[in-house]
Structure 1
Amino acid sequence: MKPTPLHDFAAGYAGRDAAAVRKRIEALEHVLEGLFKIPGINYKIGLDVILDLVPVGGDVIGAAMGAYMVWEARNLGMSKTQMARMFGNVGIDFLLGAIPWIGAIPDAMFRSNTRNLKIIKRHLDKHYPATAVVENGR
């Protein structure tokens, strides 16, 4: 059976290798922090901020998705200190979002998942340099 383009796409995200982990966490961070652009101010928000508008349950779901990034970091063999810092970011995000309705504003500014992605990328770039991707000036 000949692989389809969808199969090739899915295969790039599946697996335990560092390159697949990088793709998964970058995709998750994009969904959580940069899925939509607010017209007029060109500020990106994602599912994390939208979930903050759902009382209690939205914050729990957002925190669970953030914790998934930490779980991926654990599978990469990151240190307990790095993971504790990442869990701290998720916890701050959860507490900021716990303020009904208004909590979405500081949560949109804190961007815990982007912070955690940077921590994971530093680890990947140091320990798995072959997975590094040159981005547009970032």
Structure 2
Amino acid sequence: MISQDADQRLKRSRKIANLLDGAWGIPHTPWRFGVDALLGLLPVAGDLVSALLGLSIVWQAHKLGAPRTLKLRMLANIGLDFLLGSIPIIGDIADVAYRKNIRNTDLLEAWLKK
């Protein structure tokens, strides 16, 4: 059973993840994109802002007392996305396909349900 505080933090993280990674769908495809993909169009600065926004989910995990290994995995997802984002065109595709924020929220939810 997840506590009420944990549930609220998870819901907050899910909302942020959906805004950043899946706010809009591409018609007639299963692909979704969010603010993260739009920020990725700005060289370097966009990926930096995107990474900083993604840290809010790691912060929620920290406030819930998540283990260091979980937070490191979440940071690794952010770091990988940041590195991929620095490659022109490939980075833009990776922003839509990799969806680091949804991955991190899924990791947090799986940990909370254990």
Counterpart check, 1:80 vs 2:68: yes
C-alpha separation in 2, matches of 1:109 and 1:37: 13
Deviation string 1:17-66 (CA, Å, 9 cap, x unpaired) is 11210110010011011101011324111111111001111101100011
Task: Supply the distance in 2 between the matched residues of 1:50 and 1:102 (Cα, whole angstroms).
Answer: 14
Matched residue, 1:66: 54
Equivalent residue, structure 1, for 2:102 = 114
Give the Cα separation in 1 of the matches to 2:48 and 2:113: 31
In the TM superposition, structure 1's runs of 4+ consecutive aligned residues that sit over 4 Å from their partners are none
**Counterpart residue number, 2:29:** 41
Deviation at 1:100, TM superposition (A): 2.9
Runs of 5+ consecutive residues of structure 2 not aligned to the other structure:
none
The residue number in structure 1 matching 2:83 is: 95
Amino acid at match of 2:7: A
Structure 1 or 2, whichever has the larger Rg, is: 1
- Of structures 1 and 2, the one with the larger relative CO (CA 8 A, separation 6+) is 2
Partner amino acid, structure 2, of 1:108: V
Percent identity, aligned pairs only, is 41
Partners in 2 of 1:63 and 1:93 — Cα distance?
A: 8
- 5+ residue gaps in structure 1? 1-15, 127-138
Alignment partner of 1:108: what SS?
helix
The alignment partner of 1:29 has SS state of helix
SS in structure 1 of the partner of residue 88 of structure 2: coil
Which amino acid is the alignment partner of residue 55 of structure 2? A
Calculate the aligned-residue CA RMSD, in Å: 1.4
**Structure-2-length-normalised TM-score:** 0.90
CA distance in 2, matches of 1:118, 1:82: 11
CA distance in 2, matches of 1:88, 1:20: 24
